[in-house]
A and B are shown apart, each in its own frame.
Chain A
Amino acid sequence: MPRVVVDPVTRIEGHLRIEAEVDAGAVRDAWSSSTMFRGIELILKGRDPRDAWAFTQRICGVCTTVHAIASIRAVENAIGAQPPPNARLLRNLIIASQCVQDHVIHFYHLHALDWVDIVSALSADPAKTSTLAQSISDWPLSSATYFGGVRDRIKKFVDRGQLGPFANAYWGHPAYRLPPEANLMAVAHYLEALDWQRDVIKMHAVLGGKNPHLQSFLVGGMATPIDPDQQASINMGTIAGLKELTAKAKDFVTRVYIPDLLAVASFYKDWAGHGAGVGNYLVYGEYPESDGGSPRLFLPSGVIRNRDLTKVESLDPSKITEQVTHSWYSYSGGDTVGLHPSQGETAPNYTGPNPPYDRLNTDAKYSWLKSPRYDGQPMEVGPLARMLVAYASGQPRVKELVTMVLGKLSVGPEALFSTLGRVAARGIETQVLAEKMDEWLDELTTNIGRRDLRIQDNSRWDPATWPAEATGAGFHEAPRGALGHWVHIRDRAIANYQCVVPSTWNAGPRDAGGKRGPYEEAIVGTPVADPERPLEILRTVHSFDPCMACGVHVVDAGRHEVVRVRV
Chain B
Amino acid sequence: MKRSDSWLGEELARHGVSRREFLQFCTVMASALALPDSVAASIAQAIEHTTKPALLWLEFQDCAGNTESFLRASRPTVAEIVLDTLSVDYHETIMAAAGHQAEQALAKAVADKKDAYIAVVEGSIPTGAGGAFCTVGGRAAIDIAREVCGGAAATIAIGTCAAFGGLPAAAPNPTSALGVADAVPNVRNLINLPACPANVENLTALIVYYLTFKSVPPLDHYRRPLFAYGKSIHDNCERRAHFDAGQYVETWGDEGHRTGYCLYKMGCKGPVTFQNCPNIRWNGGTNWPIGCGHPCIGCAEPDFWDKMTPFYQHLEGIPGFGLGTTVDQVGAGAVVGVAAAFAAHGVVSFYRHRQDVKERQRGPERGHAEPTQKGTDNRKV
Which of A38, A198, A458 is the one whose CB lies under 8 Å from B61? A38
Residue of A nearest to B257 (CB): A225
How many residues of B are counted as interface, with CB atoms below 8 angstroms from the partner's CB atoms? Answer: 99
Which of A42, A54, A357, A562 is the one whose CB lies under 8 Å from B311? A54
B126 — which chain A residues lie within 8 A by C-beta? 37-38
- Bound together, the chains give a CA A560 to CA B172 distance in angstroms of 10
Smallest distance from the beta carbon of A420 to chain B beta carbons, Å?
20
Which of A38, A113, A212, A461 is the one whose CB lies under 8 Å from B174? A38
Residue of A nearest to B160 (CB): A58
Residue of A nearest to B86 (CB): A164
**Inter-chain residue pair count (beta carbon < 8 A):** 325
Q: Interface 1/0s, chain A 510-538, versus B by CB < 8 A? A: 00000000000000000000000110001
**Contact between B283 and A205 (Cβ–Cβ < 8 Å)?**
yes
Most chain A C-beta atoms within 10 Å of own C-beta, residue among B99, B282, B305: B99
Smallest distance from the beta carbon of A290 to chain B beta carbons, Å?
21
**Contact between A164 and B89 (Cβ–Cβ < 8 Å)?**
yes
**Contact between B68 and A61 (Cβ–Cβ < 8 Å)?**
yes
**Contact between B289 and A210 (Cβ–Cβ < 8 Å)?**
yes
**Is A223 located at the chain interface by the 8 A CB criterion?**
yes
A residues 376-415 touching B (CB-CB < 8 Å): none
A197/B140 contact (C-beta < 8 A), A61-B64, A169-B101 known: no
**Contact between B63 and A549 (Cβ–Cβ < 8 Å)?**
yes
- Bound together, the chains give a CA A199 to CA B284 distance in angstroms of 9
**Contact between B310 and A225 (Cβ–Cβ < 8 Å)?**
no
B residues 175-210 touching A (CB-CB < 8 Å): 175-177, 196-197
A210/B282 contact (C-beta < 8 A), A38-B175, A58-B196 known: yes
- B-binding segment of A4-12, A177-185, A281-289, A310-318: A4-12
- Bound together, the chains give a CA A461 to CA B310 distance in angstroms of 13
**Is B74 located at the chain interface by the 8 A CB criterion?**
yes
A13 — which chain B residues lie within 8 A by C-beta? 63-64, 93
**Contact between A549 and B64 (Cβ–Cβ < 8 Å)?**
yes
**Contact between A165 and B171 (Cβ–Cβ < 8 Å)?**
no
B73 — which chain A residues lie within 8 A by C-beta? 198
A residues 1-24 touching B (CB-CB < 8 Å): 5-15, 17
Most chain A C-beta atoms within 10 Å of own C-beta, residue among B59, B86, B98, B283: B98
Most chain B C-beta atoms within 10 Å of own C-beta, residue among A46, A205, A358, A560: A205
Which of A160, A549, A567 is the one whose CB lies under 8 Å from B52? A160
A11/B310 contact (C-beta < 8 A), A36-B133, A206-B287 known: no
Which of A37, A453, A565 is the one whose CB lies under 8 Å from B253? A453
Smallest distance from the beta carbon of A179 to chain B beta carbons, Å?
20
- Bound together, the chains give a CA A162 to CA B286 distance in angstroms of 34
- B-binding segment of A72-80, A213-221, A334-342: A213-221
**Contact between B99 and A352 (Cβ–Cβ < 8 Å)?**
no
**Contact between B97 and A60 (Cβ–Cβ < 8 Å)?**
no
Which of A40, A149, A212, A358 is the one whose CB lies under 8 Å from B167? A40
Q: Interface 1/0s, chain A 546-567, versus B by CB < 8 A? A: 0001000001000010110111
- Bound together, the chains give a CA A218 to CA B14 distance in angstroms of 44
A167/B89 contact (C-beta < 8 A), A36-B61, A458-B252 known: yes
**Contact between A50 and B93 (Cβ–Cβ < 8 Å)?**
no
Residue of A nearest to B175 (CB): A39
A15/B174 contact (C-beta < 8 A), A38-B168, A169-B96, A197-B71 known: no
- Bound together, the chains give a CA A105 to CA B94 distance in angstroms of 11
Which of A61, A109, A215 is the one whose CB lies under 8 Å from B294? A215
Smallest distance from the beta carbon of A265 to chain B beta carbons, Å?
20
**Is B143 located at the chain interface by the 8 A CB criterion?**
yes
**Contact between A534 and B99 (Cβ–Cβ < 8 Å)?**
yes
- Bound together, the chains give a CA A199 to CA B78 distance in angstroms of 15
**Contact between A46 and B365 (Cβ–Cβ < 8 Å)?**
yes
Q: Interface 1/0s, chain B 82-104, versus A by CB < 8 A? A: 00001111111111111111111
Smallest distance from the beta carbon of B281 to chain A beta carbons, Å?
8
**Contact between A232 and B132 (Cβ–Cβ < 8 Å)?**
no
**Contact between B63 and A35 (Cβ–Cβ < 8 Å)?**
no
Residue of A nearest to B362 (CB): A46
- Bound together, the chains give a CA A567 to CA B128 distance in angstroms of 9
B1 — which chain A residues lie within 8 A by C-beta? 160-162
**Is B146 located at the chain interface by the 8 A CB criterion?**
no
A residues near B (Cβ < 8 Å) are 5-15, 17, 35-40, 42-43, 45-48, 50-51, 54-55, 58-62, 64, 105, 109-110, 113, 118, 149, 153, 156, 160-162, 164-170, 194, 197-199, 201-202, 204-213, 215-216, 218, 220-221, 223-227, 230-233, 328, 348, 350, 352, 354-358, 453-456, 458, 461, 533-534, 538, 549, 555, 560, 562-563, 565-567
The 7 A-B residue pairs with the shortest CB-CB distance, nearest first, are A61-B65, A232-B260, A39-B174, A169-B96, A210-B282, A209-B289, A205-B283
B residues near A (Cβ < 8 Å) are 1, 3, 10, 14, 52, 54, 59-69, 71-74, 86-105, 126, 128-140, 143, 166-168, 170-177, 196-197, 251-253, 257-260, 282-284, 286-294, 297, 305, 309-313, 362, 365-366, 368
